[in-house]
Amino acid sequence: MTSAIISSVAKELGARISYEVGLIWNAKEDLQNLKSEFEAIQAVAEVADGLPYLKDEEVKDWLQKLKDVAYDAEDVIDEYQAKSAKDDHKRMLIGGKRVCTDPFTLFISCFRRHLVHRYQLGKKIKAMNDRLSQISKERKRYKLEGMEAAAAEKRRAVGSNRATTSLMVEEDIVGRDSDRDDLVEKLLREDLIMCGKSSSVPIVSIVGIGGLGKTTLARMIFNDSRVERHFEECRWWICVSQCVDAEDLAKRMLQEVKGSTVGLSGLNTLCTNLNNVLSRKKFLLVFDDVWDLEWWKQLEALLKKGAHGSRILITTRMETISEEISAAYMHNPENFSFSEGWQLFLRKALKEGETEEDLARWNLKEVGEDIVRKCGGLPIAIETVGSAMRLKRREREDWKYIADSEIWKMSSSSNSSLLPGLVLSYDVLPSVLKRCFAYLRLCPKGYSLAKDDFIKNVMAHRIVEDEDAGADMETIAKGYIDDLLGRCLFQQDKSKVFLSLHDIIYDLAVHVVGKEYNYNSVNKQTRHLVLGRDVDSLNKIELQATKVLRTLMCYGRLTEFPLNRYMSNLKRLRVLDLTGGSFSRLPDSIGDLILLRHLDLMNTKIEELPASIRKLHNLQTLLLDGSQIKSIPKEIGHLWNLRHLGLRDTSNLQFVAQGLGNLTCLRTLNRYIICGTNGTDSGCNIRELKELRKLRGQLVIEHLERVRSIDDAREAMLQEKHHIEDLELVYEATSEEEEKKRAEVQENISEVLQLPPDLKGLSLNGYCGRRFPAHWLLSENQVRLRNLRLQNCPFLTSVPDFLGLTCLHLYKCNRLETFPVMPQLSELEINGINRLKVLPFMPELKTMSLENLEELNQVPCFPKLESLKVKLLTKWKGWPLDMEGKSMPLLSTVEIGECPMLESIPHFPELRRLEIRECNNLHSLHDDQGGLEAGTSVSLTQLKILKVEKCDGLKQLPCLRGLEELEMRSLNNWEGWSTGSSMSQLRWLQMFGCPKLKSLPHFAALSYMSIEMCEELCTLWDEEKHPRELETLLVFGCPRASFPAGSLPHLSKLKNLGMGGFLEWPHRSAPLPTGALPELRILGMSGIPGQVPMPNWLWHLSHLEVLHLSGITEGTRLQGSWQNLKRLERLTIQNCPKLTTLEDLISPQHLGSSSQQSQLTVLSKLQELSICDCPQLKLLPDGLQQLVQLKSLTLEELPELTSLPQQVSNLHKLEELTLRDCQKISSLPPGLSHRLKAGLVISGCTNLRVKKN
């Protein structure tokens, strides 16, 4: 790492010497001496920087001194360059007459400052020469002299590497087939049981040292076809790693399960949402890289409630982890055999077209085998070293240099986490790749960094710069990333958006960078600092401990701009990331950070930028995406090095001052807002786009209606923006009368806005023209354009004939009546086009969405269509009755809503998912064997998911034998299934509001059943056909429903039972036999009549953890054997109008003396207690203090409750107390409010006064 820094500094010194021809006071000579000294000492650093000397602390200290002076030299050069560039720019303005003051006076002022800067540079360089000379003399003490030959040999070996190779294609994994088959067999076994702890979700663990291939093996299992078939879509991968908390992990789990970003927060809320999914799914959850179990303790109850057949797979380095979670099976992968290692080495080391015989012919096979043996059978070592050898010359001396390296002799005891093979892979990297590799150490272990952010960051640190050949920095940086990915030193996620380091490689990075990179802590050598989400104030971090900080990333919700008091310590910052901060303004002192190149204010509440932003001439990246920014000041025009200006999702942004045209380096500009004047400041004009020739990616130009001059539009020169791939032109919507006036003007302006030559996507929003500009329809545009989106274009009557179009979106183009055949179109979305009557034939169409089309009465058949969504087609009656299934043989997903004329659905042989809502003219769905008339039959043999809602014409369903998930809602006339139906594959059933449903068929595989508001339903299943796989049963509002006699005990897998609203409660007085309902953990009961409301079988549920009681209309107390519910953790009592006491919860029943009662703690594991809407309850029992595990107490709508028992203060684990609408409570027990603080919620308690402590 030290040699990499020195190499960079020496190169920069050389550039500065050749540029500064006018340096005075011997500064140029000192600069040359400094460069020569660095180059001389670099040979020593190259050898000492990573070989056997890694374990010599004195050498490491010497290298650190050397690195410090190199960094300081870089700072001096950067500071001088920043100040000189400012003066140069002012002199340039003088030459261009763009000044208001006297040009001669300004020139003299600039010249004087330039002399001062050079004088200061000379002094600093002389001081550094002295420091470097002293460090160089210390070489003798550490026996580091005479290493030039070794350095030359190393340079020659390393020099054969190319730093910009592309990412290798992923090959099949070598080895581990038997491990995979063994573990797959274990996971899929029905008799896999838990060891020790009771849980319905067995756990399998993979345990071994870092680099052994645990994650690779887990991926092989996760993607195995047998596992895919068994768990289908319910397979989720969660990377745990270190520094994880339960809430963060629960959120990541929910995002993985839902497949989208989740905006929820709070552990309870997240767990509730997760439970709704996990409790009814047979899933495979993989927890990769588990280091501790703090999160597990909080989520274990949730994770063990999965449907029958669910499994959890974990990977960890520690056997104790596997033991503590009671894994049913622990697998310890062995090191690779030599044969397996050799095959993996060949896979990575051989170039395309090379063979093992070639290595033998080149006399390299023996050397390669020696290298594999030295890797000790560790896959990650073989993989990284093999990847490095792929880049070596096919010369024996190059390969022998690696095989004979001293690094292989490193004692494992010196640093047990470092593998010699990995150290060697790092050691042979070119200097620039070493710095790139080290920078990813910035993330905590197990975390990742967006590839785009990484590129911008390494640019900010000048690790990568423009090359003479003309390739820009972003492209070069991507090449570096590809190289490090190809060497297996970096890894990326499946979306190829995020970068991370394997744990064992992360350990190498930590060792390489030393004390420079820190997380949540600072020392005097810290140059790169990341503060996690738990840091909400910089007062917790001693930033004054360092004055050399170059990177500061704050991911906590900082409430005010945090750096004012530390600004003098931050003068060397290159990267400042304050993502998500709650502060609304930046101080003027931000302009003092003249070396800053990357400023990230994404998702902050920042509203404006200070004028001092103009001083940040070095700034390359300014990210304001998702912020509350309202305006961009004119000073933005001074940031002439800016390359990326992020403005996505800035809905408050209304004004951008003139000046963007000066930013000729800009690559990224998400929004270009054409503005008028704002007070004294002129707004951004479309003419300023002319000089922004380097823009790339997407460009959105807003408020084009403000362009009045055709000449201004012509000056934009969009045709010179060769790297723009997606262009959106936005006109603000207005009244129809005003739109008519604008039509001709907008047509004329569009005529001169020529399209970028490499455009792939075009979007027009609010365009009032009646026709497309003629030059947009040129043949090259027709072929090249792939995506077209037209929105709110009120006068367009046709869509241009773009032959190459693959995606077309049309929204609210009211006069559009038709569009041409598009032979390559694969995606079509149409919404709100009232005049459209006919769709053309599109042979390649795969996805189609049609919504709110009043005149469309036909939906053609497209042979390759896979997904169809139809909504609000008021005249559409469906497809032709005689249509054959061959017409749309690939259609697998259909959603139909609010189509009142729909009569039938034809034969779709591959249909897997069907959703129908509010189609009242649809009468039936029948299979081909239904025996009904032609035209109403449908073959649904492949159907897996069916959802039907508010279709009052539907009376029956056919027997859908392959159906797995069924939801029927608000069907007023549906009577059920045809006679003799049996649905053996159905696993999930939900019915709501089906008043004519009387009976259910047999569901042999059902695991989830929810039935509500089905008033005529009499029986849930036949007496001899119990749904033995049932895990969740919810029955409410079905007064006639009943369980067959004695059937409840047969539900041996039932975990969640909720019921209420029966006229006759099932098995009320019958006790359960011993061991019945062994898996039941959650019970909810509502609407229980009678003076003694509790059914006897309740007290036999010894494993019950959650109990919810609601709507007990008659009982004044809750008598029962509460002491039997020894595992109860959550209890809710709600809507009990006559309940007057809760003593039964505290005092055990059926015990003899009071002394016996006092010695027994009832509900000793209760953690959450909620009492709501009990208007007669006046007091809580004094024995409440016996609930020693209670963490949360909620009291709501208790108008007669006058106080809380004093003993509540003795509940030492109580964390949350919620009081709502308890008007007669006037005080809290002493000290309780102070102890709870944030956990105290009070609302609607008008007489309660809480003293402030």
1039-1088: pLDDT as tens digits: 888 776 666 767 888 889 998 887 676 656 666 666 678 888 999 998 87
Give the DSSP letter of residue 333: P
The pLDDT of residue 599 is: 97
**Tokens representing 1071?**
């006790």
Q: What share of the chain is helix, strand, coil (3-state, %, to 5)?
A: 35, 15, 50
CATH 3.40.50.300 matches 177-331: yes
* Domain ranges for the chain: 2-159, 177-331, 338-511, 879-975, 987-1066+1076-1080, 1091-1148+1160-1253
Nearest to 426 by CA among 445, 405, 442: 405
> Position of tokens 């503590």?
324
The pLDDT of residue 100 is: 42
The pLDDT of residue 39 is: 66
Cβ neighbour number for residue 693 with a 10 Å cutoff: 13
Helix axes 27-48, 148-159, angle to 10 degrees: 80
Four-residue CA torsion sign, 142, 147, 148, 150: negative
The pLDDT of residue 1074 is: 65
Cβ neighbour number for residue 500 with a 10 Å cutoff: 20
**Tokens representing 50?**
């990573």
Model pTM score: 0.76
Cβ neighbour number for residue 481 with a 10 Å cutoff: 20
pLDDT tens-digit map of 133-184: 787 777 666 655 555 555 555 545 444 443 323 233 345 567 788 889 889 9
Whole-angstrom distance, CA of residue 150 vs CA of residue 799: 70
Note the Cα 666 to chain centre separation in Å. 28
Residues of the chain with pLDDT under 50: 18, 21-25, 51-53, 91-111, 155, 157-170, 194-198, 411-416, 927-938, 1149-1160, 1252-1253
Nearest to 872 by CA among 841, 899, 908, 892: 899
Helix axes 338-349, 365-374, angle to 10 degrees: 120
The radius of gyration of the chain from alpha carbons, rounded to an integer in Å, stands at 36
Q: What three-state secondary structure class fits 675?
A: coil
Nearest to 667 by CA among 687, 697, 635, 705: 697
- Do the beta carbons of residue 666 and residue 641 sit within 8 Å? no
**Tokens representing 722?**
């060769």
* CATH topology classification for 1091-1148+1160-1253: 3.80.10
The pLDDT of residue 1014 is: 94
Whole-angstrom distance, CA of residue 822 vs CA of residue 679: 50
